[in-house]
Structure 1
């Protein structure tokens, strides 16, 4: 499809899990393709997030690629939930296994993407000044690629070491005998604390809002387990490709009302011991819709925390009082609550003693000043829109994402937008619905590639969702958002963790089923709902 107006058919931005898959599919389909990656290696979030104990909280073999039985068999995961080094090695293996590295340019951060209406191409420029003209752009920058730093006075004045978990140095940090502050208690903060608590002199975890942290329940993958996974690959792939959550977890098969109060307590104990996200996906069917049963489960979890944490005051501070289970993304970790029983660990409740400032020596709260050697910002990301609004993306009709999305994104399918022809962003805002992230994004990439292949075969060179497409999708988002389990407006799913960011729901509350329904409806029109056209004709 390349012509003298385009340097490449498909330009992929980002070499993370989604970007690697998009590149694989583009090359497989016979398109000329190039990937631009800001980092000096591949892996995306698993390249940047290399802090101690960073690991999957989705089962390794369900998060990894399932497009190839041979790939599935030749990479044997060591644990149900693998750590970052193994994940990064796996993604490098995939890149080399399918000879994709020659298509990838690392150290190439995109700073501008401008639509050239006359030539029907995107002009994409990197920080080094290199420019590529692409017919189609797939921006696989993901929702967790722009670290969010807290808005604290004196943030840059600290003279010790300071790092965000999402931008961790490649040289390992030595925490031995150090005084450490961890600001944030989401998944990364909750993973880091147990990993360092036994080697530091002291570690203070600064908590703004407690979260429903539950055990990951990890385990090594033994020979018998691995053989079963390999033997049942086809069935596993079918479940992962079709289930609402994209997990293998066995549904509970019942509602809370099917059990007596005593039976529910026994069931909650089983859920407590279940792996990772099974605490949501294998729970009662009405756990996410019945407030009373969710509150009952929350009280069960609160009792667990009180039994684990020795100090009653600390235990109460660790128990959420303003959210149901699942309203925020729950961390799944090992030994988090147990860490607060160690003499080296302390909890700083920021609702009671807010941070006043950071200075050269450490952190001052309204209570006192504490000196530190290392400060860790485990404060999450500018979720959903962060990377897209920072890349200088300008479409036609005056569209400028840095301006037009300031009050929240408007899109179609969670991966495209009106006035952004030939530009896709799988894994972007409104893409995932609270399930296994790569499975949702794979669905989007597969649909995008089907569209590009169809366009090539039928002489089209332009795709742009119509205003009607976008309105239908956004109406669904806004109508169903209040019904979503992830509807706590103080969570990062609303952008609430980023100072000054508009409060807009950033997930797909209709889930995978609604995504497939809307996309299948567009595909069934054969011309993709009027979204496909040729540059020699009038566009949509």
Structure 2
């Protein structure tokens, strides 16, 4: 974009932070309603998640055709998905295509790391400041910063001493990384690590995986989409998106109405086998309706998956190390895999249990554990993210009373609809904490978020209203509902980033729910009811 030559601070109707899936669509909708908008993006291109996460193996775990935007028939007609679960390069090309198709780059300022956003009481505007000194003012601020965008970099002693290349998966180099003939160490066995490990193991001379806590993984069953299948998908897009709108979490999968404990063992096993052999998240969110709420039902599923792991891993002791003991299947994020467990049958792969032999430090030659030093040519930190609130805490948001958002959310988030928070007028949080999009096929819920916010903005800009803020009573009522909705879920009994727990961050050991699990249809209905009732819960002046 071309910046104004004047020394005056430029002003826009809306400033959007982030040029990922949500930020791009918010820019498109802002233009559609006739509002001037600027996107500030920290990277050098659009893409968000798919710009930053370039590691081998990164791909959708939503079916590709259910992930893309639904708002434009031209886009649906033009884009052919190549795989059932598309990989990062294609995903990035898709979002680049979207930005070019609608000329979105002209209103995006790249390499703009936002450092602080301050609400001005006198003008009812936000002033946004960028790391390079650029400043901009806006009537409304919209965050599109995602929930998994702040990498969690470990702080092992000696990390800077390692003589070879090392990096976090979310900061993967843009140039090709070659593993052939190299000794590679990967720290972590979460969803990202699982995708990466199965790729690195194909060509590395030797791969060492450092595991603290195993995760329950399930087969992805990816495959190509040929032209005939793509034509069939295109002819059914309306039905696909309608199915997503009606499902609990915006996927094409939805729960079986039966209960695991109400059917015979043979029927139960048959469904588990069917879902295990089927593509995608069906085994997690298309299963019996009680497996994520009833411990006894969940135990039957966890036992089934454990048996599968034992069948796939040849070394019996190693198989047991790969089976979680501290949570049931699906009560944490489920990594989807292609041959992950078989990796551990390879002679060039070693699993190190850091509970038995902890990492002491990184050395010039590799990683020193309590029992030995492991030499490496390359180290990868697949250590995840400071999830959900991390991106918000990385920017200093200062509200109407001088209080920062980090201070307000010190013990956990409180929001209204996951889209706004009291004390921060004229600010909307796409995919924010306690928003349905946090436990959803993201683009489906993102479109709902953006369209709801944009309709509200259109009404605000067409009126004399210059300030809109959340009523604290409405916020407290919504936050109470969020916590009530999770009490029935087994998530609430497990330490995970869903519950705000991260053992890699000091002080993050108290369960504080971050998501919303009342269901996408219910959430949409609540948002629509608020709008129909004159945007109940918001104070406008």
Question: Considering the TM-score relative to the shorter chain, is it more than 0.5?
Answer: yes
Which residue in 1 is equivalent to 2:352?
348
Are the aligned partners of 1:143 and 1:383 in contact in 2 as well (CA < 8 Å)? Answer: yes
Higher mean Cα deviation, 302-311 or 496-505? Answer: 496-505
Q: Distance in 1 between matches of 2:358 and 2:425?
A: 46
Are the aligned partners of 1:212 and 1:325 in contact in 2 as well (CA < 8 Å)? Answer: yes
Which residue in 1 is equivalent to 2:163?
159
Which residue in 1 is equivalent to 2:517?
509
Number of matched residues?
A: 530
Which residue in 2 is equivalent to 1:7?
11
The match for 1:523 among 503, 513, 531 is: 531
CA displacement 1:206-258 (0-9 Å, x = unmatched): 11111101110111112332122111122222222332221112643422245
**What displacement does 1:293 show?**
1.9
Are the aligned partners of 2:431 and 2:438 in contact in 1 as well (CA < 8 Å)? Answer: no
Which residue in 1 is equivalent to 2:191?
187
Q: Distance in 1 between matches of 2:334 and 2:79?
A: 29
Mark the runs of 5 or more structure 1 residues left unpaired by the alignment: 535-540
The match for 1:473 among 466, 475, 478 is: 478
Q: Distance in 2 between matches of 1:411 and 1:250?
A: 27
**What displacement does 1:530 show?**
5.4
Mark the runs of 5 or more structure 2 residues left unpaired by the alignment: 1-7
Q: Distance in 2 between matches of 1:413 and 1:252?
A: 28
Aligned in 2, Cα 1:6/1:396: closer, same or farther, shift over 3 Å? farther
Are the aligned partners of 2:165 and 2:379 in contact in 1 as well (CA < 8 Å)? Answer: yes
TM-score by length of 2: 0.95
SS at match of 1:111: strand
The match for 1:209 among 200, 213, 229 is: 213
CA displacement 1:358-394 (0-9 Å, x = unmatched): 1222111122111111111111111111111111110
Q: Does structure 1 residue 309 correspond to structure 2 residue 313?
A: yes
SS at match of 2:492: coil
Q: Does structure 1 residue 335 correspond to structure 2 residue 339?
A: yes
Q: Distance in 2 between matches of 1:532 and 1:29?
A: 22
Are the aligned partners of 2:432 and 2:438 in contact in 1 as well (CA < 8 Å)? Answer: no
Aligned pairs for 1:3-402 (under 5 A) are 7-249=11-253, 251-402=255-406
Q: Distance in 2 between matches of 1:279 and 1:511?
A: 18
TM-score by length of 1: 0.95
Are the aligned partners of 2:261 and 2:297 in contact in 1 as well (CA < 8 Å)? Answer: no
Which residue in 1 is equivalent to 2:425?
421
Q: Distance in 2 between matches of 1:508 and 1:156?
A: 39
Are the aligned partners of 1:137 and 1:424 in contact in 2 as well (CA < 8 Å)? Answer: yes
Are the aligned partners of 1:6 and 1:121 in contact in 2 as well (CA < 8 Å)? Answer: no
Which residue in 2 is equivalent to 1:451?
456
Are the aligned partners of 2:415 and 2:479 in contact in 1 as well (CA < 8 Å)? Answer: yes
**What displacement does 1:479 show?**
2.3
Are the aligned partners of 2:245 and 2:520 in contact in 1 as well (CA < 8 Å)? Answer: no
Aligned in 2, Cα 1:505/1:155: closer, same or farther, shift over 3 Å? farther
Q: Distance in 2 between matches of 1:530 and 1:457?
A: 20
CA displacement 1:256-293 (0-9 Å, x = unmatched): 24531122112211111121211122211212122212
Are the aligned partners of 1:433 and 1:511 in contact in 2 as well (CA < 8 Å)? Answer: no
Are the aligned partners of 1:181 and 1:204 in contact in 2 as well (CA < 8 Å)? Answer: yes
Q: Distance in 1 between matches of 2:303 and 2:261?
A: 17
Are the aligned partners of 1:61 and 1:77 in contact in 2 as well (CA < 8 Å)? Answer: yes
Are the aligned partners of 1:49 and 1:167 in contact in 2 as well (CA < 8 Å)? Answer: yes
Q: Distance in 2 between matches of 1:34 and 1:120?
A: 18
Aligned in 2, Cα 1:341/1:5: closer, same or farther, shift over 3 Å? closer
Q: Distance in 1 between matches of 2:319 and 2:88?
A: 30
Which residue in 2 is equivalent to 1:486?
491
Aligned in 2, Cα 1:415/1:137: closer, same or farther, shift over 3 Å? same
SS at match of 2:23: helix
Q: Distance in 2 between matches of 1:493 and 1:156?
A: 31
CA displacement 1:284-326 (0-9 Å, x = unmatched): 1212122212111111111111111111111000001111111
Higher mean Cα deviation, 239-248 or 446-455? Answer: 239-248
